């Protein structure tokens, strides 16, 4: 005799899945954790781990709704690319172009918010694509080759027109054929 339990819909979908393919996805920031780097070169330096959840996007990408993707944002000089992409993709709360502009002071220094509440619930677009460094490092593991390569502002109108793939739907007039 075993243990009888109720299985949730989410648990029922557990199992091996194909990684998210290359493309653009409408996501929400669903978790943020301040951590310390464990790498030999940057041990103990601050970083943030972002969890993104794919939103219910219409069309071909809908099958990926509720899937998770993750990225680390390093918070030290010379490695700020990811956190700057995140901040530039977030709307301003102070009337600037974006949250990145809100976080810069008059001297051009950046005050990076580390409170998860600052980021949680933000709608963004992530762009997944081939990372040549990962392909070289893991030549026999193609599931590691496609990673987050960009983070963009979410624009509901553009995302729905482009079917969240980053490309506008093809029109009949786009054809080169007569």
Domain that holds residue 157: 20-162
Domains of the chain: total: 1
**Span 81-91, average pLDDT:** 97
Do 48 and 155 meet the contact criterion of CB atoms below 8 Å apart? no
pLDDT digits over 122-170, tens only? 999 999 999 999 999 999 998 889 999 999 999 876 555 544 444 433 3
In a domain? residue 4: no
pLDDT of residue 126: 95
The answer to whether residue 60 scores a pLDDT higher than 60 is no
Cβ atoms of 35 and 132 within 8 Å: the answer is no
Residue 54: CATH number of its domain = 2.40.50
Check pLDDT > 70 for residue 86. yes
Does residue 178 carry a pLDDT above 80? no
- For residues 59-88, give the mean pLDDT: 90
By the 8 A CB rule, do 98 and 153 touch?
Answer: yes
Give the Cα separation of 74 and 84 in Å (integer).
10
Q: Would 125 be classed as within a structural domain?
A: yes
Does a structural domain hold residue 169? no
- Residue 175 domain flag: no
Across all residues in the chain, what is the average pLDDT?
85
Query: Would you give the DSSP letter of residue 101?
Result: H
Q: Is 94 part of any domain?
A: yes
The 3-state DSSP composition of the chain as helix, strand, coil percent (nearest 5) reads: 25, 25, 50
Residue 156 lies in a domain: yes
Give the pLDDT confidence score for residue 1 in this predicted structure.
72
Could you tell me if residue 81 is inside a domain?
yes
User: Regarding predicted confidence, which is higher, 16 or 83?
Assistant: 83
Phi, psi for residue 153 in degrees, rounded to 5: -65, 145
Residue 167: inside a domain, yes or no? no
pLDDT band at 7 (very low <50, low <70, confident <90, very high): confident
pLDDT at 2: 84
């Amino acid at each position: 005799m075993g243990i009888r339990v109720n299985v949730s819909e989410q648990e029922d979908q557990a199992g091996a899945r194909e990684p998210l393919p290359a493309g653009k996805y409408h996501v929400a920031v669903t978790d943020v954790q301040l951590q310390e780097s464990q790498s030999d070169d940057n041990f103990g330096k601050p970083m943030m781990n972002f969890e993104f959840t794919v939103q219910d996007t219409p069309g071909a990408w809908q099958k990926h709704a509720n899937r998770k993707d993750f990225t680390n944002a390093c918070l030290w000089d010379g490695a700020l690319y990811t956190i700057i992409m995140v901040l530039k993709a977030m709307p301003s709360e102070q009337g600037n172009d974006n949250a990145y502009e809100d976080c810069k002071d008059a001297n051009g220094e950046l005050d990076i918010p580390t409170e998860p509440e600052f980021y949680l619930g933000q709608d963004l677009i992530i762009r997944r694509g081939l990372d040549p460094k990962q392909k070289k490092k893991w030549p026999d593991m193609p599931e590691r080759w496609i990673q987050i390569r960009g983070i963009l502002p979410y624009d509901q109108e553009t995302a729905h027109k482009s079917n969240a793939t980053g490309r506008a739907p093809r029109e009949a007039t786009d054809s080169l054929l007569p």
